[in-house]
Amino acid sequence: MLYCFSSLPLSVISYYQRVQSTVELFTAVDVPIEVVQEAGEDLATIPGNVLEVKINAGRRKMRLED
């Protein structure tokens, strides 16, 4: 169960790196619209993933407290 808590910082770092690499991609000149759309779709999944991790962490915390 503790594995979930230790993986939380890794998830945050992973999402931060995804956002940072997307920003770097957009700094390039003449970015094709397909690349912009793909990046937007990729970034749109992050809030859902973060919420899922938060819910799972909360459930595991409750189990540990019981």
What secondary structure letter does DSSP report for 24?
Answer: H
**Residues 5 and 57 sit within 8 Å (Cβ to Cβ):** yes
Single pTM value for the model: 0.52
- Checking if the pLDDT of 58 tops 80, the result is yes
pLDDT at position 46 is 81
**Residues 40 and 25 sit within 8 Å (Cβ to Cβ):** no
- Checking if the pLDDT of 2 tops 70, the result is no
